[in-house]
Structure 1
Amino acid sequence: MKTFTLLLFSCVVLLFNAPLAQASTRQKKKVPEVEKLDNAPNLYKSNNMFFSGQPNLETFEWLKQQGVDLVINLRTEGENEDFAEEAFNEEVLVAKLKMKYVSLPIAGYDGYTPENLKKFAEALDNAKYKKVLIHCGSAGRVTYFMMAYLVEYKDYKLADAIAFGEQIKFSFPLEYLLKEEVDWQLK
């Protein structure tokens, strides 16, 4: 009876500690450096990825010259239609520049779902593309999706993904108020 009780207790302890063990397997990775580019407002580069707010015509042409062959647009259909009325149809322009176009409309908090993150990851991880532009209206949605992508699909610690996001468009004022760094962890 003692052996059975000890075995049962051990199983319960292992069961409840499994999520903790899984979370602790994430190893600290080097946070990718992000470079702020002067070619357009809210334009950033990290390795083979560019991040931005809504690019203008000149920025798209410049990005094509840089070798970008995939554009992931996180703006909503309404945002895209409004922009097309006042400037140009992005999907048509991207096709004319011979780049692949992926529209993943993210509207408000309802768009921040694991399903949309999975679609984002699938578009981003397509190996046949060399350089990628990911954009929304101001680079905010881009930053959140990239941070979640790094954690969920690239096995980064949350704190490292946040450090990446802070180089683009993410800030969390709690750290400024406390005058010290917050230790971010997933539960």
Structure 2
Amino acid sequence: MSRPKWGRSLQSIALWAGLILLVGCAGQQQRIASTPSPSAAESALANYRQPAAGLFTGGQPEQAEWQALAAAGITTVINLRGAEETPDRDEAAEVSAQGMRYLNIPVAGAADVNDATADRLWWAIREAGGPVLVHCASGNRVGALLALGAYRNDDRAAAAALAFGQEAGLSRLEPVVRERLDCRPPAAGDVADAGPSVAASDHSGISCVGN
């Protein structure tokens, strides 16, 4: 997978720090008005993950849970599900009613796990100006796009980007992400030879070509 030229140029202004803080580069930073409460978000979110400070990921919240998520300090909700997945709900209205900003980036399946969609999500998070919740049905699609986004826009090695995606909820789409990142699964003996502590790790045996 190629990295965008503009993604590499942002390394000097610490793009990853921008994601963690959810603000712009030095001299253009926006202050986060409130500090999100991980415990409050965790209780309201299926498959709760917090892969970076101010970034929450997980599955589909119920309508009654938006109030708790807003109270936890989340200011922006990014939904990766298509409208056809929840035809009986108007998530944009639900989120807006709680004073949060709403953005929909539909990811229908593996075909949408691509550079353009990953870049769109990455920059939406970076420009949010406050704590962000990114969700799909389970968190799987979220982790897939964040892995690609970290590789393309944070200048991370493929193995580190894949690990970040796993932390964010990547599961069934991992083979697709590995292909995009030119990663191969570990050989049968790799994990066993590494010892029990490595074999038990979620990130064990990641091997990526050229990284």
Q: Do the structures match in fold with TM over 0.5? A: yes
Deviation at 1:179, TM superposition (A): 4.8
Aligned-residue RMSD, C-alpha: 2.9
Does residue 123 of the first structure (1) align with residue 115 of the second (2)?
A: no
**2:110 maps to what in 1?**
109
Q: Report the secondary structure of 1:144's partner residue.
A: helix
2:47 to 37, 42, 49: 42
- Give the structure-2-normalised TM-score: 0.62
Q: Report the secondary structure of 2:208's partner residue.
A: coil
Q: Distance in 2 between matches of 1:43 and 1:150?
A: 20
**1:56 maps to what in 2?**
62
- Go from structure 1 to structure 2 and tell me whether the alpha carbon gap of 1:177 and 1:58 turns closer, same or farther (over 3 Å shift): farther
Q: Which residues of 2 match residues 1-187 of structure 1 at below 5 A?
A: 37-45=42-50, 46-81=52-87, 85=88, 88-126=89-127, 128-171=128-171, 174-175=185-186, 177-180=188-191, 181-186=205-210
> What CA deviation, in whole Å up to 9, does each residue of 1:123-173 have, x standing for no partner?
1121x5210000001100000011111111111111112222233433569
Query: Aligned residue pairs: how many?
Result: 152
Q: Report the secondary structure of 1:50's partner residue.
A: strand
Q: Distance in 1 between matches of 2:63 and 2:168?
A: 22
Q: Distance in 1 between matches of 2:72 and 2:209?
A: 36
Q: Distance in 2 between matches of 1:76 and 1:39?
A: 21
Q: Report the secondary structure of 2:160's partner residue.
A: helix
Q: Distance in 1 between matches of 2:129 and 2:143?
A: 20
Percentage of matched positions with identical amino acids: 24
Deviation at 1:42, TM superposition (A): 0.8
Structure 2, unpaired ranges of 5+:
1-7, 21-37, 176-184, 192-204
Deviation at 1:182, TM superposition (A): 3.1
Higher relative contact order at CA 8 Å, sep ≥6: structure 1 or structure 2? 1
